[in-house]
């Protein structure tokens, strides 16, 4: 019985590893006869795994969708939380990306339809930055509203908080009417979540900080998505200085005008930085950190001339580093 149980678990692992297996190859991998393979497949079906037969020369098997969620015992919220966590797992360990992808695929294959739909509402694109810092948390209700609108291809109506976290009322400074957009992608970049969407009225593309989105009511009218490539997402998020960033809550905050285009600096700026367009060849960069010398060192990575450096603590750090490097 122990050998049989181990073989069935091995069969399940093989079915999860590939989209489809020829019956003869699968039996050979398990070291059993075709008849024993058929019995093991029936056992998996009895346990709630939707193993489907594949027609054709020799026949075969594949693991279908819509089964139970064994062997882990998870409630609905836990299953969706794991799917979301797998998508946002930081790539700090070499070679982990493939394992994360396989784990997410395995989880979704055994999810019931209702849970699979909920997890797919959180489909997102993770774009990696060399300097990632955790930022403002995003509410689950907001993520669900945005993700559902993307998945169902319906417009999203929302207010957008100010950098101070408020939504100005009519007549107050900074008031703006609710936005109505066609949501296309959730993107994680440098520790922040962004929504890439197209304004329903102007047809312009915009990038919005998800932690500042306040959804208004259910999703609206259906729309036809516009295909976006990885280059499009890079242009709209990574290289976009107008993505609504504000400086992170660090003790040291310094800024300088950099003799580089804003789009280039925005791509390589550390997480928690702010890039402001000045002209075609210059931008204003604000960097935060745990020490003035650390902030100065990050500015140095851009290998460009700096002007109008503020505050005095950052200027002193540049002088200290210049003297130290000269002596070195």
pLDDT tens string, the chain, 328 residues long: the values are 446 777 887 888 788 777 788 989 999 998 999 899 999 999 888 888 888 888 877 788 988 776 544 455 456 776 777 777 776 655 434 455 677 777 777 777 777 777 777 666 666 676 655 555 556 677 778 888 898 899 889 999 999 998 888 898 988 888 889 999 999 999 888 778 899 999 999 999 999 999 899 999 877 899 999 999 989 999 999 888 888 888 877 889 999 999 999 999 999 988 788 999 999 999 999 999 889 999 999 999 999 999 999 999 999 999 999 999 999 9
Q: Is residue 125 part of a domain?
A: no
Instruction: Tell whether 152 and 224 lie within a shared domain.
Output: yes
How many CA atoms lie within 13 Å of 55's alpha carbon, on the beta-carbon side?
0
Burial of 285 (0-12, 13-18, 19+ CB in 10 A): buried
Q: Is residue 159 part of a domain?
A: yes
Instruction: Tell whether 154 and 221 lie within a shared domain.
Output: yes
Chosen domain end from 194, 213, 238: 238
What CATH number does residue 311 fall under? Answer: 3.30.70.250
Q: How far is CA 21 from CA 46, 63, 104, in A?
A: 20, 9, 20
Q: Is residue 170 part of a domain?
A: yes
Q: Is residue 245 part of a domain?
A: no
Instruction: Tell whether 110 and 195 lie within a shared domain.
Output: no
Taking alpha carbons only, the member of 193, 112, 92, 190 closest to residue 145 is 193
pLDDT at 131: 53
Q: Is residue 135 part of a domain?
A: no
Q: Cα–chain-centroid distance for residue 144?
A: 14
pLDDT at 92: 38
Taking alpha carbons only, the member of 115, 138, 135 closest to residue 186 is 138
Instruction: Tell whether 184 and 163 lie within a shared domain.
Output: yes
The residues with which 206 forms a beta bridge, in sequence order, are 197
129-149 confidence digits (pLDDT tens): 555 555 667 777 888 889 889
Domain total of the chain: 4
Chosen domain end from 17, 42, 63: 63
Q: How far is CA 28 from CA 24, 32, 57, 61, in A?
A: 6, 6, 17, 14
| Secondary structure class of 95 (helix, strand, coil) | coil
CA angle 282, 287, 288 (to 5 degrees): 170
Within 8 A by CB and 6+ apart from 115, the residues are 69, 76, 79, 80
Instruction: Tell whether 45 and 80 lie within a shared domain.
Output: no
Q: Is residue 247 part of a domain?
A: no
Instruction: Tell whether 187 and 227 lie within a shared domain.
Output: yes
For residues 133 and 188, the answer to whether their CB atoms sit within 8 Å is no
What H or E segment, with its residue span, contains residue 140? helix 140-152
Whole-angstrom distance, CA of residue 252 vs CA of residue 272: 12
Instruction: Tell whether 272 and 313 lie within a shared domain.
Output: yes
Q: Is residue 105 part of a domain?
A: yes
Instruction: Tell whether 155 and 225 lie within a shared domain.
Output: yes
Q: Is residue 246 part of a domain?
A: no
pLDDT at 154: 93
Range of the domain at 306: 252-327
Instruction: Tell whether 86 and 161 lie within a shared domain.
Output: no
294-311 confidence digits (pLDDT tens): 999 999 999 999 999 999
């Amino acid at each position: 019985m122990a050998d049989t149980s181990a073989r069935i678990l091995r069969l399940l692992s093989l079915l999860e590893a590939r989209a489809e297996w020829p019956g003869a190859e699968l039996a050979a991998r398990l070291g059993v006869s075709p008849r024993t393979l058929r019995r093991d497949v029936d056992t998996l079906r009895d346990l709630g795994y939707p193993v489907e037969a594949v027609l054709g020369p020799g026949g075969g098997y594949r693991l279908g969708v819509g089964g139970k969620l064994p062997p882990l015992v998870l409630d609905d919220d836990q299953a969706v939380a794991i799917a979301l966590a797998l998508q946002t797992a930081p790539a700090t360990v070499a070679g982990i990306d493939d394992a994360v992808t396989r784990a997410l695929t395995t989880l979704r294959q055994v999810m019931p339809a209702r849970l699979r739909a909920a997890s797919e509402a959180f489909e997102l694109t993770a774009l990696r930055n060399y300097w990632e810092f955790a930022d403002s948390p995003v509410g689950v209700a907001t993520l669900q509203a945005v993700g559902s609108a993307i998945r169902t291809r319906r417009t999203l109506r929302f207010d957008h908080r100010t950098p101070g976290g408020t939504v100005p009322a009519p007549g107050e400074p900074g008031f703006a009417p609710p936005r109505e957009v066609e949501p296309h992608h959730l993107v994680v970049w440098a520790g922040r979540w962004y929504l890439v969407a197209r304004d329903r009225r102007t047809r312009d593309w915009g990038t919005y900080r998800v932690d500042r989105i306040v959804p208004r009511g259910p999703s609206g009218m259906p729309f036809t998505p516009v295909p976006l490539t990885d280059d499009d997402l890079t242009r709209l998020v990574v290289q976009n200085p107008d993505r609504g960033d504000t400086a992170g809550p660090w003790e040291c905050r310094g800024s300088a005008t950099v003799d580089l285009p804003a789009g280039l600096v925005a791509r390589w700026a550390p997480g928690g930085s702010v890039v402001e367009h000045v002209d075609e060849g210059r931008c204003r960069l604000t960097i935060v950190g745990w020490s003035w010398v650390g902030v100065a060192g990050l500015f140095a990575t851009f290998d460009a001339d700096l002007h109008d450096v503020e505050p005095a603590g950052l200027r002193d750090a540049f002088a200290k580093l210049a003297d130290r490097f000269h002596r070195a």
